[in-house]
Structure 1
Amino acid sequence: MRVAFASMSTAHHGDDWYAGRLQAVAERLAARGHDVTICCVQWWDGDHPSFDFEGVTYRRVTADHAPRAFVTKLPFALNSVRPDVVHVATRPHLAVPAAKAAGRLRRTPVVAEWWAYPDDETPPWRRRWAARSPARVLVPSDTVGTTVRECGAAAADVEVIPDSVDVAGIRDAPVDPRADVVYARSLDEYANVEAFLLALAELRQRDWRAAVIGDGPARPDAERTARDLRIDDRVEFLGALDPGDQIPILKGAHVFAQTATWAPFATDLLRALACGCVGVVAYQANSAAHELVEGDPRGALVTSPRELADEIVAAAELERWTVNEAYASYDHEAVLDRYVDCYETVVADYGLF
């Protein structure tokens, strides 16, 4: 199948959760033998209009981050690719109707990946147009799906496809027992790692070791908080680690705490749950993390650092696991099957009209 992704930003432009998810899907599709092109803002050197990397062809729509120019030129870029299906990101939102215009000319179905951000100031009419234009709107969680339906998308057109982790690799990975409790996430403005540290401070009289995995602008404040709470000798800040380096630490831990205030899908939490951790999630209005533990008998939802501390203590009564097969359906290959099924369905449906 020939698949064209349309996204102004890619993981090569910066550290964005959605862009990283899109690139991972594109590369896994290419590894399966599909013909994959990403139409995007140029990130490679030189004046050539396209660039091949990790089996994926990147095609220049614009040379700079200029949303209006990107939307205007996108139909021409897609027309040159001649895909069987177009998978377009909703940032900018007008890229979706632009992709649909190109798809209509070539009788090519369009699916949209909804990129939801808490600081999104897109005018409501653009959101509605983006939500109603594609054959299918793909979302990483029910939380994001609710947002899309509120924008006017028909419930039948919204499909949840979660993020994925390497469950096969988790089974074979070693165990690193350096920490009992772990927090992992990019330490940005939404990290809220202080809530995790406050919970640990409640447990000073108990025996524990903790690790914070991740880096970002909030890290200095988090380290300062640990010092102020006088728990810095028991909290190890490990910086940013690749998933493969995280997995042994997560397999050796007993509890994973999720306190971030924004998460369209809590991938780090999912990885920890698949590694056998007990997941304790602080409920947040802009986070979908709670969805992963609501049906997990080992998981818990909390609303304060005090409750988080209580659940960490309660988890001590549960058996330590290094793998949780209940999350096998989130393996990379299993989730990729859901994308392919979606593409094949919209292509088949489009041929009926």
Structure 2
Amino acid sequence: MRVAFVSMKTSHYRDTKGARRLERLARQMADAGHDVTVYCARWWDGDERRFEPDDISYRAVTAEPNAAAFAARLPVRIARNGADVVHARPTPPESVPAAKLGGALARAPLLVDWFGDEALPGGRRTEWAARAPDRIVTPSEMVRTNAREQGADGDATTVIPESIDVDLIRETEPAETVDVAFAHPLDESANVESLMLGLAELRERDWSATIIGDGPYREDYERQARDLRIDDRVTFAGACDREERVSLYRGAHVFVQTAYREQFATELLWALACGCVGIVEYQARSSAHELIEQRERSFRVTSTQGMAEAIVDAGTYERRTFDEAFAEFDHDAVRGEYEDLYARLIDERGLF
């Protein structure tokens, strides 16, 4: 299958979760044998219009990110090279109608991956981006609702979650056991204080906690741990790579999710698959609670007291290092959801 991905600014320009999601999928599709082309602004050295590492063909629509020029040139580039399906990001919004036209010229449907972290301007331009695609994919129901609020047709939206490497989990040795794990960049949205206050309620109990992540608020959180007199039982592990995180999650009993903003709670997903009991503090701008709905080994809380009680109650569940129920989120399984959606869209396009 020929898949044309459209992302004016790749992660080489602006490293966002949405950009990484699209590029990860492009690599997975190429690894699965599909013919993958990424249309973008040039990010590599030199003047070549094409760059082809790792079985992916990157094609420079413009030399630098320029929304108007990118949108003007994109349709012809897609039509000239051909595609069976066009898969775009909604930023800049002008690129979506352009991708739609390119797809029409190539007789290919348009799918837009709307992650929710795009800096969209709102207004008519964003409405065009929401209404033009044959299908919009979001990582969660929360983002799906946001896309509909921007003008997307509810019947043309689909949720496909983020994915994880189940084989990596199985093959990674668990780290030393710890009672509670937390992971998020230590920024203004991390909300580690909710966990800290919950743990402080349990000073008289025996517990240990690991905070994974780094960022501008790390010193503040370390100071808070000292002020609450729990710093001797809280370890700040730093950013950690994926293998280190998986090892820590497999050694932990509970994973606590408190962040104010999460289009998709990826670290929570990894931790749940590693056998952790999930504790999610409900936040209006976070979709994390969606991952634990209808799952027994989990708690949803709304207060410091509720956090403390959930940590205690989680002790009634056995420790695990893997949860087979989350194998459905494996990279191959989620890639298969995209492939099935591509096939349905192509079949629908063939009816006209």
Aligned to 1:318: 317
Amino acid aligned to 2:53: F
1:254 is paired with a residue whose SS is strand
Query: Within 5 A, what are the aligned runs for 1:178-257?
Result: 178-257=177-256
Distance 1:226 1:67, change over 3 A: farther
3-state secondary structure, aligned to 1:86: strand
Quote the offset at 1:200 in angstroms: 1.8
Aligned sequence identity (%): 49
The answer for the alignment partner of 1:175 in structure 2 is 174
- CA RMSD of superposed structures (Å): 1.7
CA displacement at 1:172 relative to structure 2? 2.6
| TM superposition shift of 1:178 | 4.3
Q: Is the 8 A contact 1:62 1:70 kept in 2?
A: yes
**1:4 partnered with 2:35:** no
The aligned residue for residue 23 of structure 1 is 23
Counterpart Cα distance in 1 of 2:63 and 2:215: 27
Partner of 1:261: 260
- Cα distance, 1:340–1:214 mapped onto 2, change above 3 Å: same
| Closer, same or farther: CA 186–78 of 1 in aligned 2, 3 Å | farther
SS in 1 for 2:316: coil
Aligned partners of 1:91 and 1:115 also within 8 Å = no
Aligned position for 2:69: 69
Query: 1:121, CA displacement in angstroms?
Result: 5.6
Measure, in 2, the Cα distance between the counterparts of 1:3 and 1:352.
Answer: 20
The corresponding residue for 2:330 is: 331
C-alpha distance in 1, partners of 2:289/2:125?
A: 29
Give the length in aligned residue pairs: 352
Task: Determine the C-alpha separation between the residues in 1 that align with 2:43 and 2:215.
Answer: 22
Distance 2:77 2:156 in 1: 26
Cα distance per residue 1:126-173 (max 9 Å; x no partner) = 222112111110011111111122233222211110001112221232
Aligned partner of 1:59 in structure 2 is: 59
Once structures 1 and 2 are overlaid, which stretch shifts more, 298-307 or 119-128? Answer: 119-128
CA, structure 1 residues 131+294, in 2 after alignment: closer, same or farther (shift >3 Å)?
same
Segments of structure 1 that go 5 or more residues without pairing to the other structure are none
State the partner residue of 2:299. 300
Q: Structure 2 CA distance, aligned partners of 1:220 and 1:78?
A: 49
CA drift of 1:29 comes to 0.6
Distance 1:205 1:40 in 2: 56
Contact 2:115-2:139 within 8 A present in 1 as well: no
Name the aligned partner's letter for residue 171 of structure 1.
R
Deviation at 1:35, TM superposition (A): 1.1
SS of structure 1 residue aligned to 2:52: strand
What does residue 110 of structure 2 align with?
A: 110
The Cα of 1:120 is off from its aligned counterpart by 4.7
Report the equivalent of 1:130: 129
Please say if residues 4 and 81 of structure 1, whose CA atoms lie closer than 8 Å, have aligned partners that are also in contact.
Answer: no
**Cα pair 2:122 2:150 within 8 Å, conserved:** no
Deviation of the 1:272 alpha carbon: 0.4
Give the residue type in structure 2 aligned to 1:330: F
Deviations 1:15-38 (A, max 9, x none): 311111111111111111111111
Aligned AA (1:45):
D
Deviation at 1:319, TM superposition (A): 0.8
TM-score (norm 1): 0.94
In 2: Cα distance, 1:79 partner to 1:225 partner: 57
Contact 1:37 1:81 in 2 (8 A): no
1:82 is matched with: 82
Q: 2: CA distance between counterparts of 1:190 and 1:55?
A: 37
Cα gap change, 1:192 to 1:53, in 2 (>3 Å): farther
Please list every run of 5 or more consecutive structure 2 residues that lacks an aligned counterpart in the other structure. Answer: none
1:54 to 1:232, Cα distance in 2 relative to 1, 3 A? farther
Query: Quick check: 1:40 aligned with 2:20?
Result: no
Which sits farther off after the overlay, 266-275 or 85-94? 85-94
Aligned to 1:316, what secondary structure does the other structure show? helix
Runs of 4 or more, structure 1, over 4 Å off, are: none
Quick check: 294-303 or 163-172, which moved more?
163-172
Q: Which is worse superposed, 70-79 or 30-39?
A: 70-79
Q: Please, which moves more after superposition, 65-74 or 246-255?
A: 65-74
CA contact (8 A) 1:51 1:58 kept: yes
Which whole-Å CA distance do the structure 1 matches of 2:137 and 2:130 have between them? 10
Q: Which amino acid aligns with 1:193?
A: V
Summarize deviations over 1:300-324 as a string: whole Å, max 9, x none. 1111232112111110111111111
Shift in alpha-carbon separation, 1:240–1:77, aligned structure 2, 3 A: farther
Structure 1 residue 283: Cα displacement: 0.7
Amino acid at match of 1:58: Y
Determine the C-alpha separation between the residues in 2 that align with 1:262 and 1:297. 24
TM-score (norm: length of structure 2):
0.95
Cα deviation, 1:274-309, whole Å, max 9, x if unaligned, reads: 011000011111111000001111111111232112
Q: Following the alignment from structure 1 to structure 2, what is the Cα–Cα distance between the partners of residues 255 and 348? A: 45
Whether contact under 8 Å (2:120, 2:126) holds in the other structure is no
Q: CA deviation at 1:51?
A: 1.5
DSSP 3-state at the match of 1:180: strand
